[in-house]
Amino acid sequence: MSESVPYQQLLESLRQAFPQPVSDPVHDGYVVFSMLRALDQVDALKSQAPILGTPCEPDYAKARRERIDVEGRTLEAVIPELVSYLQGMFIWGHPRSQINVVPNPTLASVIGTLLPLLYNPNLCSDESARRFAEAEVRASAMTADLVGYDPSQAGGLFTFGGTGTLLYGVKVGLEKALPGAGQHGVREDAVIVASEQSHYSCLNVANWLGLGQQNVIRVGSNLDNSIRLADLEQALRGILSEGRKIAAIVATMGTTDAFGIDDLRAIDALRRSLAAEFSLPQLPHLHADAVIGWAWSVFNDYDFEENPLAFRGRTVRSLASAQHDIGHLRLADSVGIDFHKTGYAPYSSSLVLFRDYQDFSLIARSRETMPYLYQSGEHHPGMYTLETTRSGCGAMAALANLLLLGKTGYRVLLGHAVEMAEVLRERVESHPNLSVLNGENVGPVTLFRAYPDCVDTFNVKQRERSDRQYRTQLVAHNDYNRRIYQRVHAEALGGHGVTLSLTDCYRQNDFGDPIVALKSYVLSPFADESRMASVVKHVLAAREAVDAEDDVAARAK
């Protein structure tokens, strides 16, 4: 049918499908109303449950059978199609949602994301980004100051995730360790040194940079999941005495599962003394993977004694302890920061900061290799970024939250999350069949395990960690907790109970066996004490159901 319609007619209706370039209040009404329509349909999916709509599994087979139609549809017809994909989606901000380090974005950060979506700046250069380039510089400077860098010396850019921030840190470190590697290729081994608790993105980065995953040296960690300094020193000495190069030492400032924080000050002192001892031409690059922990910098100048926000005693102790370590971020040459984790911004909003912006020149390409770009303007991050096109969304979302929340807002949100975790820890600790694994933890995450009645939870953790005779029981307890998790999870997907998560390996025991843990990660500002109590209630109920199953099985034998 459309074959007989001159295209100009169709074009006219397609024009309505775009934001109007020239002021048109009637059309603006249509834009806003269309968004409202979508939000209204989403609202119909809300209930008391921590998910939208009814639980459903993705139908990949059906998805693969789909093809583009000849004729398009109206916006009104497309909206419900799009909204249908929210069916079964987790509501991260729900008070009973404690799944992982996933925040619910603030409204300001959503609007910060929306504006660049409408006007599509490209942060590669101020030619195409105009003042959005300035927003990136502003958000970078504010954050640099927050973590203790001198904003007039530091440089930052937003990239594709925490993994991207690490990639930039190690890439610069590699160029320092093997000058010319970017031009001539990596012709010599160079290693990344990090703790065994570091994020797997270290492996990813080593893989993608051509260093090879086997060149990630993972050293032991303490029970609080921080890097064991004696092991680190031994590893570094071994590497240097063999004459091998160090692309980067990665300090993990807040591990993903357990909020372990490395002693950055000691690591910095160690690299300095070893560099002198081995007469290295360059200090080994020190990257702080602070994608989780960075936000605690807002407590750098909080008066913990006065405690004007009136956090509970246990909370103050935890916040102060975390801040004590996070407070040394300025010693790192580069820092990775995820606003989309503990910064309450939507994906992806990740900032890599370098203490010295000149470090970017180590990875810059020459202008001649990029003939169609950078003909005007003065600010061209695209000359050293991995990405050619970079959206303004991450920078604008971060800026929105820095402005909206200020230090106090962040203190309140993080302090509340930690306070709720403390409430949970108290409740778990006081129950004879439950045990907290990361007891020394100072963050918003609680790892815990349930045990059958016959187990003495007083010494079980110690035995699981270091008693070889106890291996069979450890494996059985892992399984026991997996089954409890599956019940809690199934209940949650049905709209009841709480959404927790499970970690398959909170850490290994002395013999390399994984220790499974139930995990509660609180970030939601809507969490409250009664919800924390219900976490314990649901886990205990699931535990009883698992026990009952086992009784039936035992009797059947």
Q: Please enumerate in sequence order all residues whose Cβ is within 8 A of that of 499, keeping only pairs 6 or more positions apart, or say none.
A: 50, 51, 90, 94, 96, 97, 98, 99, 489, 492
Taking the complex as a whole, how short is the minimal distance between the CB of residue 550 and ligand PLP, in angstroms?
35
Separation of alpha carbons 550 and 56, rounded Å? 29
Instruction: Tell me the three state secondary structure of residue 273.
Output: helix
Query: Which of 298/337 has CB closer to ligand PLP?
Result: 337
- Spatial contact of 482 and 82, defined as CB atoms under 8 Å apart: no
| Site for ligand PLP contains 519 (CB under 6 A) | no
Using Cβ positions, the residue closest to ligand PLP within the complex turns out to be 162
As measured in angstroms, the least distance from the Cβ of 84 to ligand PLP is 27
CA distances from 369 to 123, 124, 184, 353 (A): 19, 15, 16, 25
In the bound state with ligand PLP, the residue whose beta carbon lies nearer, of 257 and 359, is 257
User: Could you say whether residue 292 binds ligand PLP (CB under 6 A)?
Assistant: yes
Please report, for residues 211, 352, 359, 371, 403, the alpha-carbon distance to residue 356 in angstroms, rounded to integers and kept in the order given. 24, 12, 6, 28, 25
Q: Quick one: 256 or 509, whose CB is closer to ligand PLP? A: 256
What does the radius of gyration of the chain's CA atoms come to, in whole angstroms? Answer: 26
175 is an interface residue for ligand PLP by CB under 6 A: no
- Tell me how far CA of residue 456 lies from CA of 463, 471, 506, 551, in angstroms: 10, 16, 21, 19
Contact range with ligand PLP by CB under 6 A, out of 16-24, 156-164, 296-304, 319-327 = 156-164
Structure tokens at 231: 């092991």
Question: Is 291 near ligand PLP (CB under 6 A)?
Answer: yes
Antiparallel, parallel or unpaired: β 155-159 and 350-354: antiparallel
- Ramachandran bin of 107, using left for φ above 0, alpha for ψ from -120 to 50, beta for the remaining angles: alpha
Q: Which of residues 181-200 bind ligand PLP (CB under 6 A)?
A: 199
Nearer Cβ to ligand PLP (121/162): 162
Q: Which is nearer to ligand PLP, 421 or 542 (CB)?
A: 421
Q: Which of 151, 162, 346, 444 binds ligand PLP (CB under 6 A)?
A: 162
Total residues in contact with ligand PLP, by rule CB under 6 A: 13
Identity of the amino acid at 195? S
Q: Contact region for ligand PLP (CB under 6 A) — 46-54, 118-126, 284-292, 523-531? A: 284-292
Instruction: Pick one of 53, 103, 161, 443: the residue that binds ligand PLP (CB under 6 A).
Output: 161
Tell me which stretch binds ligand PLP (CB under 6 A): 159-167, 233-241, 309-317, 513-521.
159-167
Of 342 and 435, CB closest to ligand PLP? 342
Phi-psi region of 548 (alpha: psi -120 to 50; beta: other; left: phi over 0): alpha
Nearer to ligand PLP, 292 or 450 (CB): 292
Tell me how far CA of residue 98 lies from CA of 140, 186, 481, 502, in angstroms.
30, 43, 17, 11
Question: Would you say 257 or 464 has its CB closer to ligand PLP?
Answer: 257
Q: Which amino acid is at 325?
A: D
Question: What's the rounded Cα separation, in Å, for the pair 201 and 120?
Answer: 29
Q: Which stretch binds ligand PLP (CB under 6 A): 14-22, 285-293, 436-444, 474-482?
A: 285-293
Residue 338 in the binding site for ligand PLP (CB under 6 A): yes
The answer to whether 292 touches 101, Cβ cutoff 8 Å, is yes
Which one of the spans 158-166, 367-375, 386-394, 525-533 is the region binding ligand PLP (CB under 6 A)?
Answer: 158-166
Residue 289 interacting with ligand PLP (CB under 6 A): yes
| Residue 252 contacts ligand PLP per CB under 6 A | yes
Q: Which stretch binds ligand PLP (CB under 6 A): 18-26, 239-247, 252-260, 421-429?
A: 252-260
Is 256 a binding residue for ligand PLP by CB under 6 A? The answer is yes
Sites for ligand PLP among residues 417-436 (CB under 6 A): none
Among 159, 201, 225, 503, binds ligand PLP (CB under 6 A): 201
Report, in Å, the least distance between residue 164 CB and ligand PLP: 7
Q: Shortest gap between Cβ of 233 and ligand PLP (angstroms)? A: 22
Looking at 103-111, 249-257, 510-518, 545-553, which segment touches ligand PLP (CB under 6 A)? 249-257
CB of 345 to ligand PLP, least distance (A): 11
Those residues with Cβ within 8 angstroms of residue 222's Cβ, 6 or more apart along the chain or in another chain = 228
Of the residues 350, 481, 501, 509, which one makes contact with ligand PLP according to CB under 6 A: 350
Kindly give the pairing relationship between strand 350-354 and strand 334-338: antiparallel
204 versus 457: smaller Cβ distance to ligand PLP: 204
- Dig out the tokens for 26 from the structure: 């009637």
Q: How many CB atoms lie within 10 A of CB 224?
A: 17
SS3 content of the chain, % helix, strand, coil (to 5): 50, 15, 40
**Minimum CB–partner distance for residue 105 and ligand PLP (Å):** 14
Q: How far is the C-alpha of 247 from the C-alpha of 244, rounded, in Å?
A: 10
- Interface with ligand PLP in residues 389-418 (CB under 6 A): none
- Which of 159, 163, 342, 438 touches ligand PLP (CB under 6 A)? 163
Residue 337's SS3 state is strand
* Residue ranges binding ligand PLP (CB under 6 A): 161-163, 199, 201, 252, 255-256, 289, 291-292, 338, 350
